[in-house]
Amino acid sequence: MIADIIIGGLINGSVYALLAIGFSLIFGAARIVNLAHTAFYMVASYCIYFATHKMGIHPVLAMLVAIILVTLIGLICYKLFINPIREHEAAVLIATIALAMAMQEIMLLIFTGDFLSVPSLASGYLKIIGVKIAYQQLLTIGLALLILAGVWTLLKKTRLGLAIRSTADDREVANLMGMNESRVAMITMGVSVGLAAFAGAVVVPLAVVNPHMWMHPLIMMLAVVVLGGLGSLKGSFIGAYILGFAESLVVFLIPMGAFLKGSVALSIMILVLLIRPEGLFGVAFEEER
């Protein structure tokens, strides 16, 4: 039971962290609230399903193909639908919702609404003090942490990361300092969608693939981002694990918990916001006028 809670919390937390960090990146660098973020996660899961089941590609290769393909789709969507209306915040919100709906419907048309599953990368399980832990679960957690570390290095150690962070800090000044703002936004979009696709790829062997699988992660991701503080990567990371553990605690400990898991996680978010309106690690923005 305790082990279940810990493993569940770690997996939920890692996936939410991957999603939330991607979302924070594009929000920070381009001020785009991308509500289609988790739809890319869903599309990546379907890509892997298609590659492994219909084309018989090895799962690891399928993962790579899916991530590249989905990143490309994300960039095309960005160029076609989001970039032209970037200055209109409300329009961007609606456009991304419409994009997510369109992707959901396309998946529904191609694969129908059936619940599908994908073979795991590693079979078998580990026994620690009488508790079974599947290798796949360990692999998911490990890969997620690895990629998170990779993103951290990208942002803190490379020139590209510097450009992304400075654009997030102040777009105009970054532009004046010779960073091509629209190109940084484009690259950030690529990284962000790539992270969403990766989240989909690592979690797909443990999850059920269906066209509506983006809704719940979307809400949890938004809660994580708000809890941690918009645009704060550290906040997203810690917030993700807080809500991930909260969810798995509720599911395992409270009767009818599966219905309440979203409610409890979101209530935690609201409680934190009551005390700290800018989230756990958010910076209280100067009043933007």
Residues of this chain that interact with other proteins (CB under 8 A) are 27, 33, 81, 84-85, 87-88, 90-91, 93-95, 97-99, 101-102, 104-106, 108-109, 215, 219, 222-223, 225-226, 230, 256, 259-264, 266-267, 269-270, 273-274, 277-279, 287-289
The end-to-end CA distance of the chain, in Å, is: 51
Of 172 and 287, which has the nearer Cβ to other proteins?
A: 287
Of 79 and 183, which has the nearer Cβ to other proteins?
A: 79
Q: Measure the CA–CA gap between 287 and 289, rounded to whole angstroms.
A: 6
Of 102 and 206, which has the nearer Cβ to other proteins?
A: 102
H helices present in the chain, as ranges: 2-30, 37-49, 59-77, 89-111, 135-157, 159-169, 171-176, 181-203, 215-228, 233-253, 257-275
- Shortest distance in whole angstroms from residue 22 CB to other proteins: 15
The residues, ordered by sequence, that sit 6+ positions from 115 with a Cβ below 8 Å of its Cβ are 208, 209, 210
Q: Measure the CA–CA gap between 41 and 170, rounded to whole angstroms.
A: 29
Of 240 and 266, which has the nearer Cβ to other proteins?
A: 266
Residues listed for the chain: 289
Of 100 and 174, which has the nearer Cβ to other proteins?
A: 100
- Shortest distance in whole angstroms from residue 255 CB to other proteins: 9
| Nearest CA-CA partner of 69 in 186, 188, 187, 194 | 194
- Shortest distance in whole angstroms from residue 112 CB to other proteins: 10
- Shortest distance in whole angstroms from residue 210 CB to other proteins: 15
- Shortest distance in whole angstroms from residue 149 CB to other proteins: 27
